[in-house]
């Protein structure tokens, strides 16, 4: 290999690295000048391409992100001048005089990443569109990969992204961080999107493939980025803690053959101690603020599970108290269902059955396999195998994840023939 080849590889590596680390920063800054996310994206892509040649020729700049931002902004302004639609494209722009093009000091480039995230997760966009836009624009993931992660065709995903971008521009969804009054609600939407990204990658509908593992990584990176940008928001800390504590158990969720393992059957010695430590510290930080929301509470529950010596030795009383608090801030039937499991561990399966009965009457979880699955487990523990079998069959008819189906089928076989 010649010296030239080595240099070329180094440049490629630097560009790839800048794509991973700086994409959101570069795009967010360029969007401010372009006044249009489509144009901004195009210019940023061009800037990354231009970097391959320019950095090979002139060397890798000291601040690749600043180089890319200046290049992309310049391209955007060129296009706008050429098209002479500067006026018509203004809506997304913050203020024209805020656009300093020839910034002498690279550090002066403002960090617009928060604007970008809040725009992608604007409540006027459908949740699916928020998720796709966040991956596309904030994480720089290609439409093909996003389509794969969400199990839709690439043209479908491309149309979804295009429609969302058009709405942002036509309806003038503003490019800004919401003011204090709106912030809690708007931040919750951002956290919901990131959490949804994580669960999409975490609970793969069929097998665990690479694209989905990437999505988990993006969700974690996004949360870390958000925490750096909004260090005083306890719920951001709560979400990062929840993701870390959940992810710490990822390797033990299934056995060597890919079969789903219950929490009580998982090998606790294989859990990621470092992630659990970090998650636990973050939960403590969030609770110290006295302003805990649903993510910090869920993380606190996950932390108690992650640090218990065994399923039986888990502090179920504290978990139940946390579920009581969680149900207050987030009155969702799914929370009530998880709370019922904690009730069964503190007050016994009979007490939990009453909670399940209430949820069955409520009806909102009727299509959710986990309700009959929990019901079946309680009946099994109460030694009512016939009724348990009925409930396991109901759960099987609703579950579509292969690993979960296999797990339920095994439990069904057990209650039908306890000797096996």
| Residues 295/191, Cβ–Cβ less than 8 Å | yes
The correct pick among 91, 110, 217, 385 for binding other proteins (CB under 8 A) is: 91
Question: CB of 34: closest distance to other proteins in angstroms?
Answer: 17
Smaller CB separation from other proteins, 86 or 370: 86
For residue 310, give the 3-state DSSP assignment: coil
Distance CA 243, CA 234 (A): 14
**Residue 170 touches other proteins, criterion: CB under 8 A:** yes
Look up residue 11 and give its two tokens.
């440049």
Span interacting with other proteins, options 51-59, 168-176, 253-261, 269-277, rule CB under 8 A: 168-176
Output the CA torsion sign for 207, 192, 242, 354. Answer: negative
* Residue 7 touching other proteins (CB under 8 A): no
Q: Which residues pair with 254 in a beta bridge?
A: 260
Q: Which is nearer to other proteins, 119 or 266 (CB)?
A: 119
Binding region for other proteins (CB under 8 A) out of 57-65, 170-178, 339-347, 350-358 = 170-178
61 touches other proteins by CB under 8 A: no
174 binds other proteins (CB under 8 A): yes
Task: Please give the size of the binding site for other proteins, defined by CB under 8 A.
Answer: 13
Q: How far apart are CA 305 and CA 246, in angstroms?
A: 10
The least distance separating other proteins from the CB of residue 402, rounded to whole angstroms, comes to 41
**Rounded distance between C-alpha atoms, residue 140 and residue 221, angstroms:** 12
Taking the complex as a whole, the smallest distance from the CB of residue 122 to other proteins amounts, in Å, to: 8
C-alpha 402, offset from chain centre: 22
Three-state SS annotation for 91-156: HHCCCHHHCCCCCCCHHHCCCCHHHHHHHHCCCCCCHHHHHHHHHHHHCCCCHHHHHHHCCCCHHH
Binding characters for other proteins, 176-215, by CB under 8 A (x = yes)? --x---x---------------------------------
Q: Which residues bind other proteins (CB under 8 A)?
A: 85, 87-88, 91, 122, 124, 170-174, 178, 182
């Amino acid at each position: 290999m010649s010296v030239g080849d080595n240099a070329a590889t180094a440049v490629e590596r630097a560009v790839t690295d800048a794509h991973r680390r700086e994409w959101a920063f570069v795009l967010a800054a360029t969007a401010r000048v372009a006044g249009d996310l489509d144009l901004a994206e195009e210019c940023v892509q061009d800037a990354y391409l231009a970097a391959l040649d320019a950095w090979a020729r002139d060397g890798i700049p000291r601040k690749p992100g600043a180089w890319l931002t200046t290049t992309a902004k310049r391209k955007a302004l060129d296009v706008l001048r050429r098209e002479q639609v500067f006026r018509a494209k203004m809506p997304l722009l913050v203020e024209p005089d805020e656009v300093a093009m020839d910034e002498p000091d690279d550090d002066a480039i403002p960090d617009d990443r928060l604007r970008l995230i809040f725009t992608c997760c604007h409540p006027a966009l459908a949740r699916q569109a928020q998720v796709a836009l966040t991956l596309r624009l904030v994480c720089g993931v290609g439409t093909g990969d996003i389509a794969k992660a969400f199990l839709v065709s690439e043209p479908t995903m491309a149309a979804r992204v295009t429609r969302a971008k058009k709405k942002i521009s036509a309806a003038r969804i503003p490019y800004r961080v919401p003011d204090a009054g709106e912030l809690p609600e708007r931040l919750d939407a951002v956290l919901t999107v990131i959490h949804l990204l994580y669960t999409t990658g975490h609970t793969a509908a069929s097998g665990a493939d690479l694209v989905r593992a990437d999505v988990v990584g993006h969700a974690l990176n996004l949360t870390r980025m958000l925490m750096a940008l909004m260090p005083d928001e306890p719920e951001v800390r709560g979400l990062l803690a929840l993701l870390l504590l959940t992810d710490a158990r990822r390797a033990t969720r299934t056995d060597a053959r890919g079969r789903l393992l219950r929490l009580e059957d998982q090998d606790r010695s294989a859990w990621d101690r470092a992630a659990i430590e970090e998650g636990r510290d973050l939960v403590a930080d969030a609770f110290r603020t006295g302003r805990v929301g649903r993510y910090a509470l869920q993380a606190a529950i996950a932390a108690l599970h992650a640090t218990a010596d065994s399923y039986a030795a888990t502090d179920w009383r504290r978990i139940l108290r946390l579920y009581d608090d969680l149900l207050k801030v987030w009155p969702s039937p799914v929370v009530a269902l998880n709370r019922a499991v904690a009730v069964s561990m503190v007050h016994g399966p009979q007490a939990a059955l009453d909670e399940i009965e209430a949820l069955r009457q409520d009806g909102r979880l009727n299509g959710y396999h986990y309700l009959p699955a929990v019901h079946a487990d309680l009946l099994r523990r109460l030694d009512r195998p016939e009724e348990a079998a009925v409930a396991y069959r109901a759960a099987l008819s609703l579950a579509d994840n292969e690993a979960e189906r296999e797990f339920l089928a095994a439990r069904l076989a057990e209650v039908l023939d306890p000797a096996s």
